[in-house]
Structure 1
Amino acid sequence: MSSHPSHVFARASLLASAVALALSLPAIAQDNAPDTDSKIEVIEVTATKRTQVIYEVPVAISAFSGDALAQQGITDLTDVGKFVPNLNVTGFSAGHTSSANPFIRGIGLQDHLVTTDPGVSVYVDGVYLGRQVGQNWNLNNIARIEVLRGPQGTLYGRNSIGGAINIITKQPDEVALTKATLAAGTRGRLKGDVFINRELSDTVAFNLNGGYTERDGLGKFINVPDAKYDVGETKEAYGRFSLKFSPTDDFSLVLTADANDGKGGLRPYTTLIDEVPTGAYYTGERFGEPTPAGPLRNTDVAANIYDNATGTREVTEVSNEASGISLTLDAGLTDTLSTRAIISRRSSEYKAGLDDDATIYALDHYPERGDADQTSIEWQLSGYYGDFDFVSGLYFFEEEGGNRQGEDSRFNGGANLLELDQKSTSRAVFVNLGYNVSEALRVAGGLRFNRDKKDVVANVGSGPFSASDSWSQLSYDLSANYTLANGMNIYGSVQSGYQSGQFPARPYCLFGNPECLVASDNITAVNYEIGFKGQLSSNFAMSLALFNTEYEDLPYQVSTTAEGGFSTTNLVVSQTSRGIEWESTLYLTDAFKLHTAVGWIDVDVDETEGVKPVAPLTPELTAAVGASYEFALPNGASLTTRVDYSFRDDMYGEPSSDEGRMTQLASRELVNADLRYSPANGNWSVSLYGQNIFDERYDNARLNTGDYILRILSNDASEFGLRYNVTF
């Protein structure tokens, strides 16, 4: 552990805050007696792989009810990032419109190549999604979304050093239900979705969800007039089917299959050419050689930043397909012992790629294809004996994937080659043990041992090179949760996280250094956190968390133009993140509800090789406010209004805060609105909605390669429309 004075001060501040909070709690407990007429829905979550009321979980966690997602303007994972403290979801990934790159508390990954791993893990019904581009991100048939902030290395394993996102779908049951949603709006929005749940017999039930959505683009490919899609245009069909067999109350099998097929236009982006006397684009030379296009200026890029001036047809279109099948077994072995097994097989593939110079010239364009196949198996054994409870298990994960840039790619006017193949295998064993010291106090601890291996083959035009490496790590967590007389909870926890090392994403260093295909070391994280959460009264619930997280051997991605292509290397750093997070729900009246979420983070990165990096894509402040009011109409119908505001502070797109702040992304403010009419005793509703109603345009990422700056734009322009829901 580092003994840097700021680290010591941060820990002392957290301890002082905990003491002050503990001393004030008895007074709070006396002033706020439990109220049985609570207006606030009590949400149960499975963040610790067992069902708990959200206030009892010793983790900073946000939860969203599936039925309320549309009214809040949440249609995909990117939208979730607008309403969670210290969560920022960007899109980059070779310009693909389906990419979703979560950053929690300053930890994430904006790349997508198979040699990289995200720092935030995403699960759907307990199945880990190894790749975060091209997946089925349509948030339909959702029971709940849980966002866990901070390292989750014990129960969730590797690749959760920033946090984890759980998406839980609705399970088949005995209730006969059909729901349909139709939506149409500006920007060519069309969407249709249907959900059917039926019981086939006393022991068998199924549900089916399917839909189609499309939206127009934001610009034109001005030099490819017959391009199939516009810039940012999206079209996607998706479906999910679950079949549940439950012959007894103590045994069930759920078979689930899902698939999606998406197509569209390249994500909006532009290039800022470095117009300085030494700039390679500006002088028309690179590595001392004239570029085939000669000198370039910013006037060669499309005047409208949402248009695209590429002359390369291959990069105008993106596509993605994913499919998966899983089998989940739940069985009660005794009155106090149960087991669960989750077996899954998933495949995904995509086509995308940027024309980095963003001009008609065939200078720097990289059409790309990728695919990945993964198999995962998790077995859990859980139970309780007296005041003890436990969750234990074994985990296996294997992924094989690759990325290709070939003859249709160009660098400096010549052919560009990038071939990556990697096989990754992960095994783990874990246990978490809890003990109820008293009715009010629970303590828990957990251990997880991970072993990972990666075999990679890379070819950038100088011949294929292979490398292999393996890692192992023991992760741990300790926590204590105390429930006050009024039902409020105070907790303290120490959590560790782990991520295996990573090979370079674009190893063009192989041209001059065949030994550069080397993976980074283990990434480790230790998080110290205290929190206070629960219902202070029948109309007010809140959660407060203070954290200090220390990361070692954390690789930052640094991209430059190097001989042979667009090179990405790892800058390994030590980082300390500290901050505070607040969420609350307040009923001002029976009809008026107000939700707030605020996150503040301060990130300190140790100086490395004489350079003081900054944490990329990490806004210092995130905030969201949502207000809803339900009007009771004279005829028994209701009119519900909802307005949601989201703020994200400015941030840097890469680890360097370069002079002129060219890689700095400005802050952004978004407003969504929803007005819903529901008739008395009716089975339908109609909503007038608006997303990003003030048409805020903002950047998702920026990268400075030395010759030019890639400015990746959001695909999130304003949209207004009507949404019709019917249930029968």
Structure 2
Amino acid sequence: MITNTDVSKTLASRLSPVALAVALTVPVFSNPVIAQDADAAEEQKFEAITVTATKRPQVIYEVPIAISAFDGDKLAEQGISDLTDVGKFVPNLNVTGFSAGHTSSVNPFIRGIGLQDHLITTDPGVSVYVDGVYLGRQVGQNWSLNNIERIEVLRGPQGTLYGRNSIGGAINIITKEPDQGDLTKINTEFGTRGRVKADLFVNHGLTDTLSFNMNMAFNKRDGLGEFINVPDAEYDVGETEDVSGRLSVKWEPSNDFRMVLTADGNNGDGGLRPYTVLIDELQSDRYYGGDNPLGVALRNTDVTPEGYDIYDNATGEEAVTGVSNEARGLALTTEWDMNDDYTLKLVASTRSSKYKAGLDDDGTIYSLDHYPERGEADQTSIELQLNGYINEYTDFVAGLYYFNEEGKNRQGEDSSYNTWSNLLELDQETTSKAVYVNVRRDLTDELSLSGGLRYTEDEKDASASVSEAIGTVYSSDNWDEVTWEIASNYTFENGMTGYATIQSGYQSGQYPARPYCLFGNIECFVASDNITAVNYEVGIKGRVNEYFDVSVAVFNTDFDDLPYQVSKVTENGFETDNQIVTQTSRGIELDTTFNYGNFSMMASVGYMDVDVDEQDGYKPVAPLTPDLTLAIGPSYTFDLEGGDSIRVRADYSYRSDMYGEPSSLASRQTELDSRELVNVDIAYTPADDAYTVALYGRNIFDERYDNARLNTGDYIIQVLSNDASEFGVRFSTEF
């Protein structure tokens, strides 16, 4: 059992003295000592966020799961510019990026569950939704978080309402819906590292029944290193440039019927993500010993020559210096209030995405191991929901769901493994169908009970080719599962809400990502079994007093047949296998918000212990899963004469050390050091609120940290963050 004392001891051992001093102030917020005018304190109010985590609007305190919510209009002042930044401020959430070195990849890990690969035969364990539409692929879909109404992070399995691929949790991005208001917003940023960012948002009512909004954005940032052996490379290491747009049209002919049609797209280009290769540490025969076709004995100095740093890249292959992505989407949401009690909703979407990326795994000028690759995916989804009230005590949501995805990944003649072409062709079509229902009933004024069921059928048709001599190998498999949930909410006399939830989750089996095992066993291209999860959780959330909000959750989640990806260099290529494990994740999470007069502070703490059953004589670890996460964000607004104001905000984020892959605890070679990041934002707003101009700093102490590490057996790939310090000015206005 985890106690407050245990957490305090862990904090004390992991955090810097400054961070610890700030962290330990959190429990005393309910007894503030800040001197403020009594009348101002009396007028200080919270506005509780309404969320749609249960697919119907609820105040966040009423949702019987652990959830964090972010107001879209306040993301910039917190230093959040993409989903990776969101991962710095949610307890037990870590967002990383690897995926063939692409700068736009997003890989969330919640409570020890996630996936750092991107190939079409793999599925993430945390689902991402935009306006109710599931995003099957994250590479090539660079969400810049403009035009965002709200972001919700749901922690724990969400198998009933969100279905497959949400065994770790779900992230909901809700955009701003068109309305009859006339509004234009302009946001710009100019900063160090060549930052140039601009976005335009326009909302306008065309007629009494028709309205639209649109968002156009441009975002550019320089890199952190150079391709020292490719002088004509178009982009530097880590350089990014992205153009995106989104148009929504809403037709509301009556109070009972509304339809929203949305089209979006983005194009991104840039340089390969920063990474380096560690050769000396393993001293393999093939690389360190020179037992390769070139007969070249490699060292770390071949990867990082004298006079350069690890953010430079020594590849001699132009094909792996650049990355690109594009995505297109079209979605239609229709709602019909059939009567006062029932609403019918249809969400239909089609999306496509493409990317180009790839790594030079040996990291040197020699043509040994480089893998430029391309991928694409097309998906279609349809969800039909019926929600409403059976009587004054009972409400429900029920639905039918269909999802289809076709995708492929290609490594061709321009890739090589030890100087010969390293072919990889993967194709997969996935079809998923589901039916679900969730019912909530108020038993008394204080006590409510809810429960849900979902039945899912999945089918995958996959093929792989790693050699023209072997040819293409085909395989098909199907899975089905019933997931369920039961939860209770109780409102105490002081207004706080306690809840207890038992929920299950499910994910269909997965095929090997890089099946070079086909050279020795043509039957190795088979999918794993159903992945299942059961989560037990209790928590309390709500308003302690008029100044202080709190949410606490304690959980225990059991996972069966969970695939860990293990990559290694073999005689035939860079092979990735699924290692099937049984895992238990348990921990505690705290979210708080404090407001008193002109002062406010958010804070979150997550502590987690992940236990994995022993495998073949050694004990794996959950990859990219820190056992301690912490975020603190104080803010103070200075009122000036005449009504002008200056708001000062700082945000601190901590992630403890973790492992880059599920290697044995005895191996320290893939361990990632802990990291502490600090953002600051100083914003001036005149009395008429005509504009806001701010000085910002992100990662102000220039913390350089590892994003991931892979031990291939011959070398270690050290994936570096693209998150160096940045300072600049932000300007926003609306009219």
User: TM (normalized to structure 2)?
Assistant: 0.93
Report how far residue 36 of structure 1 moved: 9.1
Secondary structure, counterpart of 1:369 in structure 2 = strand
Q: Which residue of 1 aligns with 2:529?
A: 521
Report how far residue 275 of structure 1 moved: 4.9
* Aligned partner (choices 628, 650, 653) of residue 621 of structure 1: 628
**Aligned residue type for 2:699:** N
Secondary structure, counterpart of 1:306 in structure 2 = coil
1:32-47 paired onto structure 2 within 5 Å: 39-47=45-53
Mapped to 2, the partners of 1:642 and 1:681 lie a distance apart of 21
Work out whether residues 312 and 360 of structure 1, in 8 Å CA contact, stay in contact via their aligned partners in 2. Answer: yes
Is residue 734 of structure 2 the alignment partner of residue 727 of structure 1?
Answer: yes
Work out whether residues 501 and 523 of structure 1, in 8 Å CA contact, stay in contact via their aligned partners in 2. Answer: yes
Is residue 308 of structure 2 the alignment partner of residue 308 of structure 1?
Answer: no
Q: Which residue of 1 aligns with 2:447?
A: 441
**Aligned residue type for 2:211:** A
Residues 200-225 of structure 1: per-residue CA shift (max 9 Å, x gap): 01100000000101000000000001
* TM-aligned CA distance change 1:39 to 1:226, over 3 Å: same
Work out whether residues 284 and 715 of structure 2, in 8 Å CA contact, stay in contact via their aligned partners in 1. Answer: no
Residues 168-198 of structure 1: per-residue CA shift (max 9 Å, x gap): 0000001100000111000000011000000
Of 500-509 and 602-611, deviating more is 602-611
Mapped to 1, the partners of 2:282 and 2:573 lie a distance apart of 22
Report how far residue 39 of structure 1 moved: 2.0
Q: Which residue of 2 aligns with 1:639?
A: 646
Q: Which residue of 2 aligns with 1:542?
A: 550
Work out whether residues 607 and 627 of structure 2, in 8 Å CA contact, stay in contact via their aligned partners in 1. Answer: yes
Q: Which residue of 2 aligns with 1:23?
A: none
Report how far residue 367 of structure 1 moved: 0.1
* Aligned partner (choices 62, 65, 68) of residue 62 of structure 1: 68
Q: Which residue of 1 aligns with 2:423?
A: 417
* TM-aligned CA distance change 1:711 to 1:275, over 3 Å: closer
Mapped to 2, the partners of 1:71 and 1:490 lie a distance apart of 32
**Aligned residue type for 2:375:** G
* TM-aligned CA distance change 1:661 to 1:276, over 3 Å: closer
Report how far residue 487 of structure 1 moved: 1.4
Mapped to 1, the partners of 2:557 and 2:282 lie a distance apart of 40
Q: Which residue of 1 aligns with 2:294?
A: 292
Residues 343-373 of structure 1: per-residue CA shift (max 9 Å, x gap): 0000000000000000000101000000000
Is residue 702 of structure 2 the alignment partner of residue 670 of structure 1?
Answer: no
Is residue 268 of structure 2 the alignment partner of residue 266 of structure 1?
Answer: no
Q: Which residue of 2 aligns with 1:362?
A: 367
Q: Which residue of 1 aligns with 2:463?
A: 457
* Aligned partner (choices 131, 135, 141) of residue 125 of structure 1: 131
Mapped to 1, the partners of 2:526 and 2:369 lie a distance apart of 26
Q: Which residue of 2 aligns with 1:136?
A: 142
Q: Which residue of 1 aligns with 2:713?
A: 706
Report how far residue 562 of structure 1 moved: 1.4
Q: Which residue of 2 aligns with 1:384?
A: 389
Mapped to 2, the partners of 1:210 and 1:459 lie a distance apart of 41
1:132-281 paired onto structure 2 within 5 Å: 132-275=138-281, 278-281=284-287
Report how far residue 274 of structure 1 moved: 4.1
Mapped to 2, the partners of 1:52 and 1:275 lie a distance apart of 53
Work out whether residues 689 and 720 of structure 1, in 8 Å CA contact, stay in contact via their aligned partners in 2. Answer: yes
Query: CA RMSD, aligned part only?
Result: 1.4
* Aligned partner (choices 590, 595, 604) of residue 582 of structure 1: 590
* TM-aligned CA distance change 1:323 to 1:276, over 3 Å: closer
Q: Which runs of 5+ in 2 are unaligned?
A: 4-29, 31-40
Q: Which residue of 2 aligns with 1:494?
A: 502
Residues 387-428 of structure 1: per-residue CA shift (max 9 Å, x gap): 111100000000000000000001011111000000000000
Work out whether residues 620 and 665 of structure 2, in 8 Å CA contact, stay in contact via their aligned partners in 1. Answer: no
Secondary structure, counterpart of 1:114 in structure 2 = coil
Secondary structure, counterpart of 1:537 in structure 2 = coil
**Aligned residue type for 1:62:** S
Work out whether residues 189 and 731 of structure 2, in 8 Å CA contact, stay in contact via their aligned partners in 1. Answer: yes
* Aligned partner (choices 591, 602, 606) of residue 599 of structure 1: 606
Report how far residue 611 of structure 1 moved: 2.2
* TM-aligned CA distance change 1:10 to 1:504, over 3 Å: farther
Q: Which residue of 2 aligns with 1:324?
A: 329
Identity %: 64
* TM-aligned CA distance change 1:659 to 1:547, over 3 Å: closer
Work out whether residues 619 and 665 of structure 2, in 8 Å CA contact, stay in contact via their aligned partners in 1. Answer: no
* TM-aligned CA distance change 1:550 to 1:368, over 3 Å: same
Work out whether residues 122 and 128 of structure 1, in 8 Å CA contact, stay in contact via their aligned partners in 2. Answer: yes
Mapped to 1, the partners of 2:730 and 2:283 lie a distance apart of 54
Report how far residue 38 of structure 1 moved: 5.2
Work out whether residues 693 and 719 of structure 1, in 8 Å CA contact, stay in contact via their aligned partners in 2. Answer: yes
Secondary structure, counterpart of 1:616 in structure 2 = coil
Q: Which residue of 2 aligns with 1:71?
A: 77
Work out whether residues 317 and 352 of structure 1, in 8 Å CA contact, stay in contact via their aligned partners in 2. Answer: yes
Q: Which runs of 5+ in 1 are unaligned?
A: 1-8, 12-27, 29-34
Report how far residue 485 of structure 1 moved: 2.0
* TM-aligned CA distance change 1:710 to 1:277, over 3 Å: closer
**Aligned residue type for 1:522:** N
Mapped to 1, the partners of 2:489 and 2:591 lie a distance apart of 19
Mapped to 1, the partners of 2:666 and 2:373 lie a distance apart of 32
Q: Which residue of 1 aligns with 2:354?
A: 349
Mapped to 2, the partners of 1:413 and 1:604 lie a distance apart of 41
Mapped to 2, the partners of 1:423 and 1:274 lie a distance apart of 41
Mapped to 1, the partners of 2:252 and 2:279 lie a distance apart of 62
Work out whether residues 72 and 674 of structure 1, in 8 Å CA contact, stay in contact via their aligned partners in 2. Answer: yes
Work out whether residues 186 and 201 of structure 2, in 8 Å CA contact, stay in contact via their aligned partners in 1. Answer: yes
Work out whether residues 293 and 363 of structure 1, in 8 Å CA contact, stay in contact via their aligned partners in 2. Answer: no
Report how far residue 254 of structure 1 moved: 0.2
Mapped to 2, the partners of 1:299 and 1:72 lie a distance apart of 39
